[in-house]
Structure 1
Amino acid sequence: MDAATQLQRPAVTELRLSAFKSHRNAVYPLGPLTLFRGPSGSGKSSALQAYEALARLAGGDTLDEAFAPVAGGATACVPQQARPDEQGRRGFRIGCTVEGPAGPVRLDVAVQAEPELRVVGERLTGSGRTLLSTALRDPGLPRVEAAWHTAGSVPVTRAPLPDDRLGTALLPLRVAGKTAGQRIVLDAAEQVVVALRSVFPCDPRPELMRAPVAARDGLLRGACDNVAAVLGRTRSECVTRHAALVTAAGAGCRGRVDGVSVQGLEGGFVRAVLARQAGSATPLEHLGDGELRYLALCLVLLTGPGVLAMDQAAEVLPARQVLTVLADGLDRCLDPRQARELLGLAARMCERGHIRLVGTVRGAVAHAAEEVAGASMVDLGA
């Protein structure tokens, strides 16, 4: 895919953690395939947690909902060294840059976690100007005062917005788009929301993947616990992609793999099996943890958002969106051979421009990833 075509697909190209957990004044560039590496406690997982929280906020979640996946919630995101002010307030700051048709657009959010969880400041900038800014004026009210660029008879429009949601995600409901300035604001907000909503956090759980599942459960969840049903669906929907999955399975699973199929069980349930030579088969529940994680991650990379349980921006054509997979512990349970095969597949898929991958790796795999063409490495151990 040429650069002009990829530019039409909004993508997060920078993650900023100004004050978030162990990160301070950190700026991380994100390419099509970006891997965070470093020792335990260096902040690999927390970087992906911040990305996922921004994605959830862009999808309309409240602050409570957006930070629910983080152990300890939003309070756990406050840097340990942060001291409360005279009113006992502590918080954190995160942001990102999204590139696309509207050019580079920056989003920065300041969150108060204590004593109350609320957005205390948000700034959306692009086209050389501030397009949206919010500030907490009255701590006694559950709202922030917002101002957005208008460039009409009134240069700036001011109005209150709720303090528990991302203002940028609310702009399409508040801005009419009648002036050139308003259209700039809407284009920038749409670009950020589309890029952030096109995210699929994925952490396959082998212990949940071995049980039979309902045949109708055809959208893959982040834990990949319903992988058997999804494999049955993809086998019939796209022969080309399914053949690529069989090839990937043969490269990462023990023994020869001639196919991946589904067996029907009583009560509308199914289980997946790997077809072997001479008509033999290995049920998925007999595979090792590494084989199951490897197979599930290959499925995610090869199928796309239409097969994944995610809430994309329905008002934007799929051709204008790019799926970003967040994979914390990408190499967990994988042996070196599986890790190399998975990283090679990821590089090939990301090069096409339809998928981006942000993952964390550690150990020997982190060093092997340096040899993968197209992979960007963020070293948190330096």
Structure 2
Amino acid sequence: MTLPAPASLSETPLATGTRPLGDRQRPLRPRITELVLSAFGRHRRAVLEFGACTLLAGGSGSGKSSALRAFEALARLGGGAELGEVFPEPAVWVPEGARGDAQGRRGFRIGCVADGPEGPVRLEVAVQAEPEARIVGERLTARGLVLLETALRDPRRRVVQAAWHTAGTAAVTRGRLPDDRLGTALLPLRVAGTTPGQRTVLAAAEQMVVALRSVFACDPRPDRMGAPVPTGTGRLLGGCDNLAAVLWRTRAECGRRHALLVDALRTGCAGPVADLLAEPCGDGRVRALLDRGDGTRTDLGRLGDGELRHLALALVLLTGPGVLEVDAPGEVPDALRTLTVLADNLDRGLDPRQRTALLRLAARMCDRGHIRLVGAVSDASWAAGADGVTVVHLDRD
């Protein structure tokens, strides 16, 4: 399980006086623009390019869900999660037919590209799945320069040998990192930032980590959305179980966005919609209701699954990192982050009118630069030609 070998760290020192990677023309908010699936599940040598609003399209078995799974896994690793938490059954993702080496070791390789102020930064990760899970190789590169490289040297020890760019009195600094964590996420703890080369490493690593930690995997669960819930933190969970608690918060915080949400519900829900309310139950819980405008209030539990999924996804698109349950890098204000929403089976349970309205809302919000969407659908013919929407056909591309 080794990564392809470009020029080694010692062969690519940063020239004295070289400018930082960033320039004024680069986008300010880090975001993932490519997912690289070198060997993962059904994918081999696949590079998926993302626009602001992207649909992954393909039939059953084309690899839509596994692509989103890899994306979410990288996001969790970028947030500091241990490999075993992210991949409890790593052997599932080893490509079928992959042969082990003389020691019976097999694994998979994934990666991504994060664009932002530092230019495109590329991350590649090699994971050994058998006989035991460990990260056996990692590489962080930008503009052809290798900033971090790790490799497993001694299988008996639970560490990898790492080298990161320094460009000081020594071209690189060497050390050991744990084999169950993403080294890129650990660099701020290991790199002093005293040389231009070290500052370049830190800036690139921060861009990658911020982009990964701004990922929100969303799969609304209608069967759990209608019941009253504790007020809690007011941050929306991935299954949208606590939707009522979030409405309790957001309705008071931002009247304009709440009005946009109500307007979206007029398309997504049957019957008249005058408002969307959250009211206390008197026991520390709140429940959500539709105000029909004629004195009738409809409990969300009475809505259809398609109506509830449309509501939940519209709420996600109209909020941001401060409302959704995403990993928050404390040093980066929410205003400087672009939230990437991952939605498997995006159109599940939606009728043609609902899915078209939802895609129109997604394209509009993504165009503003605060939100990006990667959704998976089996058939994207209904989205063909939609403004601001990129369709990636996994059966063909």
TM-score (norm 1): 0.96
Could you tell me which amino acid in structure 1 is paired with residue 338 of structure 2? V
Indicate conservation of the 8 Å contact 1:35/1:359, yes or no. Answer: yes
Q: Structure 1 residues 216 and 62 mapped into 2: Cα distance closer, same or farther (>3 Å)? A: closer
**Offset at 1:216?**
3.4
1:251 equivalent in alignment to 2:271: no
Q: Report the equivalent of 1:369.
A: 383
Q: How many angstroms apart in 1 are the aligned matches of 2:385 and 2:256?
A: 28
Secondary structure at 1:279's aligned position in 2? coil
Q: Report the equivalent of 1:320.
A: 336
Could you tell me which amino acid in structure 1 is paired with residue 161 of structure 2? E
Secondary structure at 1:108's aligned position in 2? strand
Indicate conservation of the 8 Å contact 2:275/2:293, yes or no. Answer: no
1:380 equivalent in alignment to 2:387: no
Q: How many angstroms apart in 2 are the aligned matches of 1:354 and 1:42?
A: 30
Q: How many angstroms apart in 2 are the aligned matches of 1:294 and 1:226?
A: 15
1:294 equivalent in alignment to 2:310: yes
Secondary structure at 1:345's aligned position in 2? helix
Q: Report the equivalent of 1:36.
A: 56
Could you tell me which amino acid in structure 2 is paired with residue 21 of structure 1? G
Q: How many angstroms apart in 1 are the aligned matches of 2:148 and 2:233?
A: 41
Could you tell me which amino acid in structure 2 is paired with residue 370 of structure 1? A
Q: How many angstroms apart in 2 are the aligned matches of 1:118 and 1:359?
A: 29
Q: Report the equivalent of 2:42.
A: 22
Q: Structure 1 residues 310 and 41 mapped into 2: Cα distance closer, same or farther (>3 Å)? A: same
1:240 equivalent in alignment to 2:256: yes
Please state which structure has a larger fraction of its residues in helix: 1
1:147 equivalent in alignment to 2:163: yes
Q: How many angstroms apart in 1 are the aligned matches of 2:348 and 2:369?
A: 26
> For residues 110-157 of structure 1, what are the alpha-carbon distances to aligned partners after superposition, in whole Å with 9 as ceiling and x for unaligned?
000000100111000113211110000000000000001100001110
1:192 equivalent in alignment to 2:208: yes
Could you tell me which amino acid in structure 2 is paired with residue 12 of structure 1? I
Q: How many angstroms apart in 2 are the aligned matches of 1:171 and 1:332?
A: 40
Map 1:174-193 to 2 at 5 A: 174-193=190-209
Map 1:164-175 to 2 at 5 A: 164-175=180-191
Q: How many angstroms apart in 1 are the aligned matches of 2:269 and 2:33?
A: 34
1:309 equivalent in alignment to 2:325: yes
Indicate conservation of the 8 Å contact 1:217/1:226, yes or no. Answer: no
Could you tell me which amino acid in structure 1 is paired with residue 81 of structure 2? D
**Offset at 1:6?**
7.3
Q: Report the equivalent of 1:264.
A: 280
**Offset at 1:200?**
0.6
Q: Report the equivalent of 1:230.
A: 246
Quote the sequence identity (%).
Answer: 62
Q: How many angstroms apart in 2 are the aligned matches of 1:160 and 1:269?
A: 49
Q: How many angstroms apart in 2 are the aligned matches of 1:65 and 1:82?
A: 24
Q: How many angstroms apart in 1 are the aligned matches of 2:138 and 2:45?
A: 17
Runs of 4+ in 1 over 3 A off after TM superposition: 3-6
Q: How many angstroms apart in 2 are the aligned matches of 1:215 and 1:183?
A: 42
- RMSD over aligned CA atoms reads 1.3
Q: Report the equivalent of 1:45.
A: 65
1:65 equivalent in alignment to 2:103: no
Q: How many angstroms apart in 1 are the aligned matches of 2:376 and 2:186?
A: 32
> For residues 254-298 of structure 1, what are the alpha-carbon distances to aligned partners after superposition, in whole Å with 9 as ceiling and x for unaligned?
011000002321312221111113111111000000000100000
Secondary structure at 1:50's aligned position in 2? helix
Q: Report the equivalent of 2:33.
A: 13
Q: Report the equivalent of 1:340.
A: 356
1:202 equivalent in alignment to 2:222: no
Query: Which runs of 5 or more structure 1 residues have no equivalent in the other structure?
Result: none
**Offset at 1:43?**
0.2
Q: How many angstroms apart in 1 are the aligned matches of 2:306 and 2:264?
A: 14
1:111 equivalent in alignment to 2:127: yes
Secondary structure at 1:278's aligned position in 2? coil
Q: Structure 1 residues 341 and 5 mapped into 2: Cα distance closer, same or farther (>3 Å)? A: farther
**Offset at 1:5?**
8.1
Query: Which runs of 5 or more structure 2 residues have no equivalent in the other structure?
Result: 1-22
